[in-house]
Amino acid sequence: MLQLKQKLSEKIDQHRPRTTRLLKEFGEVKVDEVKIRQVIGGMRGLKCLVTDISYLDPYEGIRYRGMTLPEVFEKLPKPEGKQYPYVEGLFYLLLTGEIPTKDQVLEIVEEFKKRRQLPQYVIDVLRAMPTDSHPMVMFSTAVLVMQRESKFAKFYREGYNKWTAWEYMLEDAMNLLPKLPTIAAYIYRMKYRSDIHIPEDPSQDFGGHFAHMMGIPEPFDDVARMYFIIHADHESGNVSAHTGHLVASALSDPYYAISAMLDGLAGPLHGLANQEVLRWIQGMMKKFGDKLPSEDDMKQYVWDTLNAGQVIPGFGHAVLRKTDPRYMVQREFALKHLKDDLLFKYVDMLFKIVPPILKEQGKAKNPWPNVDAHSGTILWYYGVREYEFYTVMFGIGRSIGVLSNIIWDRALGYPIERPKSITTDMLEEIAGIK
Ligand code: HAX
């Protein structure tokens, strides 16, 4: 048995009595109140989900299993000579809550290598799709078409047991996750690199494999590790994580859940925002003749965007109330590797100029930059210039968190999700106006 599975099994055994006790003895204790503005307003702030994988503090940003991103980067084992840790180690951390030893990580690295090749039918399906299909559509389709491989679905058909179901979810996750970089790179090379594909290099870890299959040299392998790790999880109420959880709650297997979560990630207010950011900044660069504008000219451009009724992409957040630490991780990387790049200089200037303007406008609750304000800049610098592909990379990262969450969902026997809806008439009655 993999050390990961052994450790996870111990953790699940330790955890189950906590959930059982809460349900049995404290099931009627009130957690929160529901206000009309939350019912109409996308359930913002409503405490109605539970996850131990990550927690988003509005002022501090994301913690994975209690650790900040800098702590995660410092503590997880790294490949020799690399700046960022093994992505496989993050999977271990999110699942078990413990920092793995190098040996425990290398076991997953080797396991993933055995499972990352694509079945031919996945390639056939991708090749049969219209060439102008969005890469997110291709990505989601490739995951969905592999549903026939699901060990969880087979287990369900052949006699389901609630308490061992997580083992089949883990098996599906171990089969699906390492294939995601392979699928993504295949889509990329098929669509944008003359359909010329690169044979895999068996020495590469998850991040290195992606960079290699994309055909982009070092340090893009480290960009990939950093990018996948910072995008992995953002607690469970965001659209992608929540969709994955919701779909899996119907006992749909990980292939269905990940395909669905990718569809949610593809929305412009969520994972697609990184492509919107770059489109917007490059529109500005074009206007200023590919030179850095004066602060006043940039301020005017920002105001013009707002006055046209548009949002400033890459700024604001539904939960965060400070600069996103995922933005800061990327900024640190950019200051080290691309500080003289014109696009980065624009991002750097916007970092200073936009927040005071959003504060002055007084609408956005959070005027600070989010993860998406930066990511496109780094990818562009290393030659990934097809904006529409950026969300695919986000999706690889987010799958690590969603898969960890849905394995735990089954381990703790969470039920099918089914909130109650009411009518506008009823809301008016509750408000006392009817
Ligand atoms: N520029 C201009 N106006 C903004 C704004 C921004 N960046 N962010 C919020 N606002 C506006 C909202 O549109 C809203 O206006 P209306 O009342 O007219 O509808 C008002 O401020 C209040 O919004 P909020 O409560 O602060 O923000 P929400 O929780 O409703 O929305 C969003 C959060 C991230 C969707 C929002 O800030 C936004 O649209 N930002 C730009 C797009 C973006 O960067 N998205 C990526 C977010 C990170 C992520 O999830 N990545 O996957």
Cβ atoms 170, 12 nearer than 8 A: no
For 273-325, the three-class secondary structure string (H helix, E strand, C coil) is HHHHHHHHHHHHHHHCCCCCCCHHHHHHHHHHHHHCCCCCCCECCCCCCCCCH
Residue 242 falls in the annotated catalytic set: no
> pLDDT tens, 134-161?
999 999 999 999 999 999 999 999 999 9
Strands 61-64 and 67-68: antiparallel
Cβ atoms 340, 293 nearer than 8 A: no
Instruction: Evaluate if residue 333 carries a pLDDT over 90.
Output: yes
Q: How far is the CA of 312 from the centre of ligand 1 (A)?
A: 8
336 within ligand 1 shell (Cβ under 6 A): no
Cβ atoms 425, 434 nearer than 8 A: yes
316 within ligand 1 shell (Cβ under 6 A): yes
365 within ligand 1 shell (Cβ under 6 A): yes
Name which of 397, 13, 426 is nearest 207 in CA terms. Answer: 397
Residue 56, Cβ neighbours under 10 Å: how many?
19
398 within ligand 1 shell (Cβ under 6 A): no
Shortest-distance Cα residue to atom 12 of ligand 1 = 364
Instruction: Evaluate if residue 1 carries a pLDDT over 90.
Output: no
Confidence of residue 311 (pLDDT cuts 50, 70, 90): very high
In a domain, 288, yes or no: yes
Cβ atoms 277, 373 nearer than 8 A: yes
Residue 372 falls in the annotated catalytic set: yes
Atom of ligand 1 at shortest range from CA of 373: 44
| Structure letter (DSSP) for residue 295 | H
Name which of 248, 278, 273, 275 is nearest 260 in CA terms. Answer: 248
**Which of 235, 276, 317 maximizes ligand 1 atoms within 8 Å of its Cβ, making it the mutation to test the pocket?**
317
Shortest-distance Cα residue to atom 23 of ligand 1 = 364
- The count of domains in the chain is 1
Taking each helix axis from N to C end, the angle separating 254-265 and 135-145, rounded to the nearest 10 degrees, works out to: 170
Residue 156, Cβ neighbours under 10 Å: how many?
16
- Would you state the pLDDT for residue 274? 87
Q: How far is the CA of 274 from the centre of ligand 1 (A)?
A: 14
Q: In what order do the strands lie in the sheet with 61-64?
A: 54-57, 61-64, 67-68
Instruction: Evaluate if residue 106 carries a pLDDT over 90.
Output: yes
C-alpha span between 379 and 329 (Å, rounded): 14
pLDDT over 70 for what percent of the chain? 100
- Would you state the pLDDT for residue 269? 86
> pLDDT tens, 370-390?
999 998 999 999 999 999 999
- Would you state the pLDDT for residue 268? 86
Q: What angle do CA 229, 231, 232 make, to 5 degrees?
A: 65
In a domain, 287, yes or no: yes
Confidence of residue 260 (pLDDT cuts 50, 70, 90): very high
Question: Is the peptide bond prior to 219 cis by the omega test (within 30 degrees of 0)?
Answer: yes
In a domain, 238, yes or no: no
367 within ligand 1 shell (Cβ under 6 A): no
Mean pLDDT of 20-45: 97
CATH number at residue 285: 1.10.230.10
Could you tell me the pTM of the whole model? 0.95
Residue reference for tokens 């056939």: 124
> HSE of 411 in the Cβ direction (CA atoms, 13 Å)?
25
Mean pLDDT of 7-19: 98
- Would you state the pLDDT for residue 275? 86
In a domain, 88, yes or no: no
C-alpha span between 234 and 402 (Å, rounded): 10
Shortest-distance Cα residue to atom 49 of ligand 1 = 270
- Would you state the pLDDT for residue 272? 85
**What kind and span of H or E run contains 67?**
strand 67-68
Mean pLDDT of 261-273: 92
Name the 3-class secondary structure at 291.
coil
Confidence of residue 27 (pLDDT cuts 50, 70, 90): very high
Name the 3-class secondary structure at 56.
strand
| Domain range enclosing 350 | 273-381
Shortest-distance Cα residue to atom 10 of ligand 1 = 364
Mean pLDDT of 332-355: 97
Cβ atoms 241, 400 nearer than 8 A: no
In a domain, 289, yes or no: yes
Residue 231 falls in the annotated catalytic set: no
> pLDDT tens, 197-255?
999 999 999 999 999 999 999 999 999 999 999 999 999 999 999 999 999 999 999 99
C-alpha span between 301 and 255 (Å, rounded): 43
Mean pLDDT of 16-23: 98
- Would you state the pLDDT for residue 49? 97
In a domain, 319, yes or no: yes
Cβ atoms 391, 265 nearer than 8 A: yes
Q: How far is the CA of 327 from the centre of ligand 1 (A)?
A: 16
Distance from chain centroid for Cα 14: 28
Task: Identify the active-site residue in 317, 324, 348, 374.
Answer: 317
Task: Identify the active-site residue in 270, 324, 348, 409.
Answer: 270
Mean pLDDT of 283-310: 97
- List, as one string, the DSSP characters of 163-221: TTHHHHHHHHHHHHTTHHHHHHHHHHHHHHSTT------TT--HHHHHHHHHT--TTHH
In a domain, 350, yes or no: yes
Write b or e for each residue in 213-233: b if 16 or more Cβ atoms lie within 10 A of its Cβ, otherwise e.
Answer: bbebeebbbbbbbbbbbbbbb
Which residue type, as a one-letter code, is found at position 43? M
Mean pLDDT of 94-118: 98
C-alpha span between 126 and 139 (Å, rounded): 9
pLDDT over 90 for what percent of the chain? 97
- What φ, ψ does residue 198 adopt, rounded to 5°? -110, 130
Confidence of residue 97 (pLDDT cuts 50, 70, 90): very high
Q: How far is the CA of 364 from the centre of ligand 1 (A)?
A: 6
Atom of ligand 1 at shortest range from CA of 316: 37
Cβ atoms 191, 386 nearer than 8 A: yes
Instruction: Evaluate if residue 265 carries a pLDDT over 90.
Output: yes
- Would you state the pLDDT for residue 270? 87
- Would you state the pLDDT for residue 239? 97
Confidence of residue 433 (pLDDT cuts 50, 70, 90): very high
Cβ atoms 42, 242 nearer than 8 A: no
| Structure letter (DSSP) for residue 38 | H
In residues, how long is the chain?
434
Shortest-distance Cα residue to atom 32 of ligand 1 = 317
Atom of ligand 1 at shortest range from CA of 270: 52
Shortest-distance Cα residue to atom 4 of ligand 1 = 364
Among 160-164, 261-265, 267-271, 418-422, whose mean pLDDT is lowest? 267-271
Cβ atoms 328, 337 nearer than 8 A: no
Cβ atoms 18, 109 nearer than 8 A: no
Q: How far is the CA of 269 from the centre of ligand 1 (A)?
A: 8
